[in-house]
Structure 1
Amino acid sequence: MAAQYVARISEAFPFWCQKLLDRSDWVLLDTESAEIAGRRAEAVAIAVVDPGGKAIYDRVFNPFRVRLTGSGFEDPHELASFAQLWAELDDVLRDKLIISYGAVYNSQILRRTAELRQVEMRSYVWQCVMIAYAEYWAEPGHYVDHIAGRD
């Protein structure tokens, strides 16, 4: 199984966001996960949005037996499996920088699901919006300036 790499964002958050808007080689990815049959969590839904804001992948997977209920998903027996839909997701992610809120968690969930479903997963590069934003607000003086209305 290929390693997933969460790259650190090395510039101020607003500049990073602006640079993303000038690029087209990235996607925004989010997962929904559940604990399946007493195992660690795995993906039961994945959504991917392109730089223009269009949902280019939005699938719910058959999670077999879901221990946690109340997710609002359709009858799992009528859903395709992760393995059946992997090629489509891989095509969407190929050669793209993956932006995610919680990239470490989402990359681990995607990798774990691929392993459990015996799907070969390539390496991807991820960047985490949550960490970048938190680091931006943690810069010395930034929060004080914001509260004081000086930003």
Structure 2
Amino acid sequence: MGNCIVAGARGSLGFVPSRMYSGKNSSESIQEETALKPATKKQMVRYYRCIQEIEKTTTGIVNIFNDAAENVDKTDEFNIILQSLLTRLLDLHKDLNLLIQLSFYKIDFSVHERKDLAEKIKLLVSNLWNDIKGTLEGNPFGFAEIEIKMENLVKQTGDLIKIV
């Protein structure tokens, strides 16, 4: 039976790999196993489509932000534009999560770099979300902070796409 532990009624067929009971938490073991499993063609296609979606969504976010910058003085229209910006940020967050999940497979040599960059972008998206919510709630300096983070988002997304 080697490295298996006999489990109770809940174990599948009564055996559970002993690594399930090791002292590592799941995020550490996932990190170690990142890019260890070979990817199927379907997973590779999803991975590259996900990168394309991240690029398209970021372009859409920048376009919406530019519309917001033109309508800063018009309160109602500005708020509607910021709401749509929040929606697009949610889409980007979902795409980044999918990319991180697909980084579990061997797809190309840049999987680790893309995964790390995707996690940084995800953190930036969350900060942008909070700044936009603050601006909608009346923070007078929120829009300037959003502009700085948008430039950073564009730069990091460009880096994510260009990694070879």
Q: State if a TM-score over 0.5 links the two structures.
A: no
- Larger strand proportion of the pair: 1
Structure showing greater radius of gyration is 2
